[in-house]
Structure 1
């Protein structure tokens, strides 16, 4: 009985390790982000809002390699689930940024965007817009 549990644990660990390895390979295989709008769509693909019309605006900057500089700041969050869900919505955006960066910037985009402050407005996962810098 104890041997079966040990085998199951090792099998579970192996499955998790394979899944994490596949995720890392998928991130490496991403085509480079060549346009500013690709930043918004890349982050939107990772975000999991609770409702289709949830809205978040985040202020952040990137290095030329696509990593976030400093701590992103949520400047607006509105959940269609009500004010009680706003903080969870903001937390879900911060998790998406943490999990999906660095983004694979092309050398040209990285050189152009490095250090620039961007405001990105997300409406659900389907719409994301770069707002003029603050």
Structure 2
């Protein structure tokens, strides 16, 4: 008897799906209109975390994202007067959101989306120093293949600075 009950529940759960007519178009997400939908995709933002300052500058064009992130962070230096992290934090962190053209130049101004470990005037100092460093490192020296792959896509680049003890 328990097997018959499970089979009945299974059949009842399939009835609504079988009742809808299949129009030949796959449904990938939420419908905005009758029969409409949009395909679901992976996150479009390219994300990377770089411990700064970077030990050395790249000598060849970046061909992968793993090579691009340090190339963009290579010009970052701790701004004078930044000091130690506040609030008991070990690190000072700042995240920029930006987009690049195929030639490695910036599309519009980058945005600071996150900053931690500093407050007040020191936060302003960190933001200004990070934006100036990015301006010095762009246009990024990248290969044509990487340029085609990243052109116009948002990049979230996180710099993590741990001051010397």
Matches within 5 A, 1:31-46: 31-46=60-75
Name the SS of the counterpart of 2:107 in structure 1: strand
Consecutive unaligned residues of structure 1, counting only runs of 5 or more, are 1-26, 126-134
Length-normalised TM-score, structure 2: 0.53
Residue 109, structure 1, aligned to residue 146, structure 2? yes
Q: Which residue of 1 aligns with 2:98?
A: 60
Matched, 1:94 2:128: no
State the TM-score, normalized to the length of structure 1. 0.65
| Root-mean-square deviation over aligned CA pairs | 2.3
Instruction: Determine which of 105, 109, 112 is the counterpart of 1:74.
Output: 112
CA distance in 2: counterparts of 1:37 and 1:58, whole angstroms = 17
1:51, distance to aligned residue in structure 2 (A): 5.3
Aligned-residue offset at 1:41: 0.6
2: CA distance between counterparts of 1:77 and 1:119?
13
In structure 2, the gaps of 5 or more residues are: 1-56, 85-90
Decide which structure has greater strand share. 1
**Helix, strand or coil: the match of 1:65?**
coil
The worse-fitting range, judged by mean Cα deviation, of 115-124 and 38-47 is 38-47
Equivalences, count: 98
Q: Secondary structure of 1:74's partner?
A: strand
Specify the structure having the higher radius of gyration (Cα).
Answer: 2
Contact 1:57 1:77 in 2 (8 A): yes
Question: How far apart, in 1, do the equivalents of 2:155 and 2:122 lie?
Answer: 25
Q: Is the 8 A contact 1:57 1:122 kept in 2?
A: yes
